[in-house]
Structure 1
Amino acid sequence: MNLKLYVYFFLALTIISSCKTKKPATIVNNSPKVYKTQIDSLLDIVKIKDTVRLADSAGTAIPSEFVATVNFNLRKPNYVIIHHTAQDSAKQTLNTFTLARTQVSAHYVVSRDGKVYHMLNDYLRSWHAGVSKWGSVTDMNSCSIGIELDNNGVQPFQDAQVKSLILLLAKLKKAYNIPTANFIGHSDIAPGRKTDPSAYFPWKTLAKSGFGYWSDDVLELAPETFDYVAALRIIGYDTSNLPAAIKAFKLHFIQNDVSSQLTQLDLNVLFNVAKKY
């Protein structure tokens, strides 16, 4: 049995318990029925107890056998990726995430008034990150929780929304022991392709609560020998497109200037932030 089947088995254990709830699910585009169908398909996979089939260069089969281990548990998310919906309302986003043709989803949606919609079991792989990279991780969907904030991308976030987000992040951080550094934005992992959660997002407020890092109020001058490209990589940015990486960094940590040029202040902030990683 290959590793993928083990993973599905682990997921199924959690899914079975999570689906047993007294609170009725909100029905959007017949989503509860489709959700159950998807879960059933995963359960069918994890019931398979087949072994891997291998053969050498001469075509001779390699002996193999499935022997069930008793030492395992669920895989858990290690990152939280924050997005804005770029849509007009939470209702519109719920509709988008419950249509198969859109091929996009998130674990949570937080509305402007602070209501939290849980759309997918935390252990399941949501389709929120897309083509992305952070450090050496090239499949962020497989190791992260995606949170969408109801915001069109050109307006400040609501206080009630931020309050609910912080409470949700606290719960997730404790439940999965997510490191402080691993609360990041979509723009961080997809430089040049995404700009959410936008320059309006209160990263400093989140950092004060232990979700992500922020620069200190008093900054040390970056040395003349400071390698800013290496510093961006230390934080996690993909520098294969350096101007895009710089913009992504500034969108997160500078916010009032998101050009691809680094001022002395920007270098000081980068130097300060990189030392926290």
Structure 2
Amino acid sequence: MRKLIPVFYFLMAIAIISCGSNPYAKTNRLHKKQAKAYSKQLQQFPTPENQNESALNYGDYWVGTTNFNLRKPNYVVIHHTAQDSVQQTLTTFTLPRTQVSSHYVIAKNGEIFHMLNDYYRAWHGGIGKWGNNTDLNSSSLGIEIDNNGEEEFTDLQIISLIELLEEIKEKHGIPAENFIGHSDIAPSRKVDPNINFPWKRLAEEGFGLWYDEAEVENLKLEAEFFKPNPLAINFNSRLHTRISFIDKLVFPEVIPADFNVENALKIIGFDTSNLAAAKSAFKLHFIQKDLDQPFNTCDLKVLYSLHKKYL
């Protein structure tokens, strides 16, 4: 019996140590196994034998080019997790049945969990479109921020996010305009990151574009800038001559009456197959208030100012 006591304590010590180790050790092993399988696929080369099995007219021998590298991401798509905790999200992303994942997850305390190599394709975007790109998963990195969908993002999260984006941008050469949100690429399905997300701050750091507020302030709608000439109307009712107001001898930029909202949204990148959803997604990103309200004059001016940056 006495001999069993040391064994008992030894087993207890192992149990305690195992409890303090990485709780995702099992799924990490599965991750490595899957990565190894993909590595084997990448190392498979054409051979005369397997080419002969094809109906294609292959050459007499295989020639492997020396000029190639790994495909790299060209977009970053930012999400909120819409879950109760970062632990819940990490568990969700390690269960095969969920079929969802992300490259990075940022906890409320600013901790960053790098879940997938940047060159792998995560399942974070789903069905979506940005410009002519209909498979954002294949060309983007997904970053999930621990947030239930309604709360504010913590300062530590945003600091870590900006530091992460700096590293990603430098590593992969991603253009500023290609840092976007999930709601941007899937306006009919998604509303993340939520209305509290600091898009303006990110744009100031070089991640995403923002409008020139002074320019927007100076913009005028054509209806605001022009008025009928009463003299011309008195002389000939069919004459539609118009004169302009002069404000401090400075001519503001005028938004033409035929400015096309749908085309402007397309130029930025939004999928306008559901125009109402595209407008709402635009407001979620750039206006961040009155999302359920129709476009007003201010929204129109912001859109006009922004679309020129994407031309």
Which band: TM-score by shorter chain? 0.7 to 0.9
SS of 1:205's partner is helix
State how far apart, in whole Å, the 1-side matches of 2:139 and 2:55 are: 37
Structure 2 residue ranges without an equivalent (≥5): 1-20, 221-254
Contact 1:246 1:260 (8 Å CA) reproduced: no
| 2:126 equivalent among 124, 127, 130 | 130
Q: Compared with structure 1, are the counterparts of its residues 253 and 70 closer, same or farther at alpha carbon in structure 2 (3 Å cutoff)?
A: same
Offset from partner CA, 1:58-103 (integer Å, 9 cap, x none): x965233421111111111100000000001111100100110100
Offset from partner CA, 1:156-188 (integer Å, 9 cap, x none): 111110010001001101111100000000000
Q: Which residue of 2 aligns with 1:161?
A: 157
- The AA in structure 2 aligned to 1:154 is E
* More helix, by proportion: 2
Q: How many residues align?
A: 250
Overall identity of the aligned pairs, in %:
52
User: Which structure's CA Rg is the greater one?
Assistant: 2
Structure 2 length as normaliser, TM-score?
0.77
State how far apart, in whole Å, the 2-side matches of 1:80 and 1:259 are: 27
Structure 1 length as normaliser, TM-score?
0.86
- The AA in structure 1 aligned to 2:186 is A
Structure 1 residue ranges without an equivalent (≥5): 1-24
SS of 1:134's partner is coil
Output the aligned Cα RMSD: 1.9
- The AA in structure 2 aligned to 1:44 is K
SS of 1:178's partner is coil
User: Displacement, 1:257?
Assistant: 1.5
Q: Compared with structure 1, are the counterparts of its residues 199 and 72 closer, same or farther at alpha carbon in structure 2 (3 Å cutoff)?
A: same
Contact 1:128 1:146 (8 Å CA) reproduced: yes
State how far apart, in whole Å, the 1-side matches of 2:123 and 2:56 are: 37
Q: Does 1:85 align with 2:118?
A: no
User: Displacement, 1:50?
Assistant: 2.0
SS of 2:180's partner is strand
Superposed, 1:1-277 pairs within 5 Å as 26-28=22-24, 30-50=26-46, 61-64=56-59, 65-218=61-214, 219=216, 220-221=219-220, 222-259=255-292, 261-277=294-310
